[in-house]
Homo-oligomer: A and B are copies of this chain.
Amino acid sequence: MPEQTERPTLEVCLSPALLHLYDLAQKIVVVIDVLRATSTICTALYHGAQKVIPVDSVEKCMEIGRQLGAVTAGERDGHIAPGLEHGNSPLEYPASFIQNKTLVLTTTNGTRLLHMAKDAEEIVIGSFLNLSAICAYLLSRNKPVMLACAGWKDRINLEDSLLAGAIIHRIKSHFDIQCDAALIVEQLYEATHHRLMEHMQQASHYQRLTRHGFQQDIAYCLTIDGANVLPVYRDGAIALA
């Protein structure tokens, strides 16, 4: 079956602490941090932001914000971090506010993962909000793919695993999948996608966010194609392809 051997590979990495096991060179890495970094990035760009600059500390966020006259955003323990202007909720970034602006965003898990994936051929941003755009892009490129989940402080989480499963569910017939983590999340998605929100209520992150009053965020972040754009990370900033 010559066709099969010519398909590019598709792998899943469920925690940043496992990413060193994989060679990312020549791969398209899809960075996934559903609650809420990659959902917020997709939303801001969908609503016309010029670009999003992800940084790993509040200090860097404030500094770059000052330099560029940009909107600064970030949370620590569920509250806007002291010195920043906005939080991590995608609902804070409607077009009326973010259009034509630059957003400097500090997140813990997502930003770290972007930096870890620097050897990749390309890095794109994935969320349920741009599921179709991501899948269409991966199919059009025909290159090996790594779906890289941010998780929570290196632990595997449900929502990022579910999105990886959703992507695989849609495009698997075009890829060569020799990755058990991919088989696992695909089964997870197939078994639960008809009751995604209900299933998410068991997740550790759901409980963490609802304690801080972010139930609406979760429902929005699970909306398939709610902000269907293709954000690409290049030279330290994320913009539409």
Chain A residues in contact with chain B, CB under 8 A?
A: 14-15, 17-18, 21, 152-158, 161, 178-181, 183-185, 187-188, 190-192, 199, 202-205, 207
Q: Which 9 A-B pairs rank lowest in CB-CB distance, beginning with the nearest?
A: A191-B191, A158-B180, A156-B181, A157-B180, A187-B191, A187-B188, A184-B188, A180-B204, A183-B202
User: Can you give 23 contacting A-B residue pairs, CB < 8 Å?
Assistant: A15-B15, A17-B21, A21-B153, A21-B154, A152-B180, A155-B180, A155-B181, A156-B180, A156-B181, A156-B184, A157-B180, A161-B184, A178-B204, A178-B207, A183-B199, A183-B202, A184-B184, A187-B188, A187-B191, A187-B199, A188-B188, A188-B191, A190-B191
Residues of B within 8 A of A185 (CB): 184
18 extra interface residue pairs, beta carbon distance < 8 Å, beyond A21-B155, A156-B181, A187-B191: A14-B14, A15-B15, A15-B18, A17-B21, A18-B155, A21-B153, A157-B180, A158-B180, A158-B184, A161-B184, A179-B204, A180-B204, A183-B202, A184-B185, A187-B187, A187-B188, A187-B199, A188-B191
Task: Please measure, in the bound complex, the distance between the C-alpha atom of A14 and the C-alpha atom of B153, giving whole angstroms.
Answer: 15
Residues of B within 8 A of A161 (CB): 180, 184
Q: Are A154 and B203 in contact (CB under 8 A)?
A: no
Residues of B within 8 A of A157 (CB): 180
Task: Please measure, in the bound complex, the distance between the C-alpha atom of A178 and the C-alpha atom of B203, giving whole angstroms.
Answer: 7
Task: Please measure, in the bound complex, the distance between the C-alpha atom of A187 and the C-alpha atom of B207, giving whole angstroms.
Answer: 19
Task: Please measure, in the bound complex, the distance between the C-alpha atom of A154 and the C-alpha atom of B202, giving whole angstroms.
Answer: 27
Task: Please measure, in the bound complex, the distance between the C-alpha atom of A15 and the C-alpha atom of B151, giving whole angstroms.
Answer: 14
A16 to chain B, nearest CB (A): 10
Q: Are B180 and A203 in contact (CB under 8 A)?
A: yes
A12: nearest chain-B partner, CB-CB: B156
Task: Please measure, in the bound complex, the distance between the C-alpha atom of A207 and the C-alpha atom of B177, giving whole angstroms.
Answer: 12
Given contacts A17-B17, A17-B18, is CB(A183)–CB(B155) below 8 Å? no
Task: Please measure, in the bound complex, the distance between the C-alpha atom of A185 and the C-alpha atom of B192, giving whole angstroms.
Answer: 12
A189: nearest chain-B partner, CB-CB: B187
Task: Please measure, in the bound complex, the distance between the C-alpha atom of A21 and the C-alpha atom of B204, giving whole angstroms.
Answer: 15
Q: Are A183 and B154 in contact (CB under 8 A)?
A: no
Task: Please measure, in the bound complex, the distance between the C-alpha atom of A191 and the C-alpha atom of B152, giving whole angstroms.
Answer: 25
